[in-house]
Structure 1
């Protein structure tokens, strides 16, 4: 199991819609995440800056990377693109964080 964390950026005026979309996360998206080894996935909002901090655990990095290519993931990115900073392929602009400490 590997822990991943990263920062993303939601547009301030789109925070409520972003939250709503995640409250109603599509069942097929949840299933795809699980099938690609994701668990313990959380996203936190820093209200003052609209920065998002995401944390998840994955079983296998190669398997997790394959999630990007799934049709459901591409559809999700397309739905999220109007709400947050994205790259040309609609993937979220994200800054990976390096783990420097962990306590079990």
Structure 2
């Protein structure tokens, strides 16, 4: 599973409308996103319009290709372009990605795997 995080800038004058538009996304768009393989999808926004998106996916290139050719998302993405500053192309295809530098679960798993051999070598006394 891959975690994907991206950033976009919403035009300040469009922020309230953008937020309202996402309160009840069309079910066909939701189905298309789900069927593409993207899951645990969230959007976060600051008052200045900085938008951070996050989702998990097994194969992001395959999911992006599925969404790019899905007619259920074409209209939504075309209508959404007006909300973003300095956007070329579809928001779901051209948002700059962010690099993950920390994940709690990954580090806990790695730490437990490092500790595990010690427990086996030195079992507690009977």
Give TM-score, length-normalised by structure 2: 0.74
Partner of 2:5: 5
Name the one with the larger strand percent: 1
- Any idea what the Cα deviations from partners look like across 1:47-77, whole Å, max 9, x if unmatched? 1x31100010012223212112221222111
- The number of aligned residues is 101
Give TM-score, length-normalised by structure 1: 0.88
Unpaired runs of 5+ residues, structure 2, are: 106-126
Mapped pair 1:83 → 2:87: no
SS of the residue 1:55 aligns to: strand
Distance (whole Å) between structure 2 residues aligned to residue 73 and residue 50 of structure 1 = 23
Equivalent residues in 2 for 1:3-82 (5 A)?
A: 3-47=3-47, 49-66=48-65, 67-82=67-82
**Greater relative CO, 1 or 2 (CA 8 Å, sep 6+):** 1
Distance (whole Å) between structure 1 residues aligned to residue 62 and residue 46 of structure 2 = 30
Distance (whole Å) between structure 2 residues aligned to residue 52 and residue 70 of structure 1 = 24
Runs of at least 4 residues of structure 1 off by over 2 A? none
Distance (whole Å) between structure 2 residues aligned to residue 13 and residue 72 of structure 1 = 27
SS of the residue 1:23 aligns to: coil
